[in-house]
Copies of this chain bind each other. A is one copy, B any other.
Amino acid sequence: MTVRIGIMGYGNLARGVEAAIGQNEDAKLVAVFSRRDPKSLCIATENVPVVSADAVADYADKIDVLVLCGGSATDLPKQTAEYAKLFNVVDSFDTHANIPEHFAQADASSKAAGKISLISCGWDPGMFSIARLYANCILPDGKDYTFWGRGVSQGHSDAIRRIEGVLDARQYTVPVKNALDQVRAGQSPELSVREKHTRECYVVAAEGADLSRIEREIKTMPHYFDEYDTTVHFISMEEMRKNHSGIPHGGFVIRNGCTGFQKENKHTIEYRLQLDSNPEFTGSVLVACARAVYRMNCEGQSGCKTLFDVPPAYLSPLSADELRAKLL
């Protein structure tokens, strides 16, 4: 059974979804939708139209799942509930604090339409959430840790770019090795924000800019940097292009817990991701999620879901028999 996919938006994540569709034989890209002039966009897949986002409703019968590739700040809070009125949708909404509201709005649209919206798919929220959930179910007495990185934080890089005199910037979130090693070894320390991660910044400054002011503004920026040990490296535009053009990321979800009548036995569950390309990995999760959404909807389910609600088998192109034989 082939799942016909539309992509809304065409940034890094959308290209990750497009590439992932090419790796899944049962997925087919039908169209890419954009708010930009369709003629201005050249997509990687041949013979697939780029269509104005305004015309997406014309594709209601041609698409099984619309994958929303906008950002969580302004795009998805509007788009998910809106497009869920017409399509099964998948998004990667990642503003944790606003998930309940986002869920409620998408749920109302999807239920009214008899469709499914699967929100917050990716790796955090997403695969990391699933790792936390399973680990919590198995080890009720325990402590969770999530470490992110080493990887590029788009939000923090953007925040640096808004400082006067900054031409470009890349911020890496880095787990503190000593803290990570302790947790991986089964210890359950109390760790402050500062003790878990450091922030490494690579900055291209305009000629003649006041470097010490820029460095000070970065290190004291509330929420983004002030609670962390931050290092700032000024580099050339050439060095930026050469050494910092990738978008790697990853991290660790670890739960240390105990079992036994006297809680005498300790256990560590660790889930680790190391990703060369954050958007391509996230895009790959979204395509597997699109497959699951289409199946669940074909079975008559509707409403908003998260990966917590999806039986793992629904994400796979293999049959139940094949899965039991090959992967169980």
The answer, among B140, B274, B280, B307, for a CB contact under 8 Å with A186, is B274
Known: A20-B259, A313-B133. A308 touches B284 (CB 8 A): no
Check if B311 sits within 8 Å of A140, measured CB to CB: no
Chain copies in complex: 2
| Complex-state Cα separation, A120 to B327, whole angstroms | 12
Q: Which B residues touch A281, using CB under 8 A?
A: 138, 259, 267
Query: Could you tell me how many residues of chain A have their Cβ less than 8 Å away from some Cβ of chain B?
Result: 69
Q: Which B residues touch A327, using CB under 8 A?
A: 129, 132-133, 136, 308
Q: Which B residues touch A275, using CB under 8 A?
A: 265, 267-268
Check if B272 sits within 8 Å of A133, measured CB to CB: no
Q: Indicate whether A208 reaches chain B with its CB closer than 8 angstroms.
A: no
Q: Indicate whether A315 reaches chain B with its CB closer than 8 angstroms.
A: yes
Query: A residues near B, CB below 8 A?
Result: 16, 19-20, 22-24, 44, 96, 99-100, 103, 120, 125, 127, 129-134, 136-141, 186, 250, 259-261, 265-277, 280-281, 283-285, 288, 291, 306-313, 315-317, 320-321, 323-325, 327-328
- The 10 A-B pairs with the shortest beta carbon distances in the complex, nearest first, are A265-B276, A259-B280, A265-B277, A308-B313, A137-B315, A270-B272, A137-B288, A268-B274, A129-B328, A132-B327
Contact sample, A vs B, 29 pairs, CB 8 Å cutoff: A19-B260, A19-B261, A23-B259, A44-B261, A96-B328, A100-B325, A103-B324, A127-B269, A133-B312, A137-B315, A138-B284, A138-B288, A140-B317, A259-B281, A265-B276, A265-B280, A266-B276, A267-B276, A268-B273, A268-B274, A268-B275, A270-B273, A306-B323, A306-B328, A308-B311, A308-B324, A308-B328, A309-B313, A311-B311
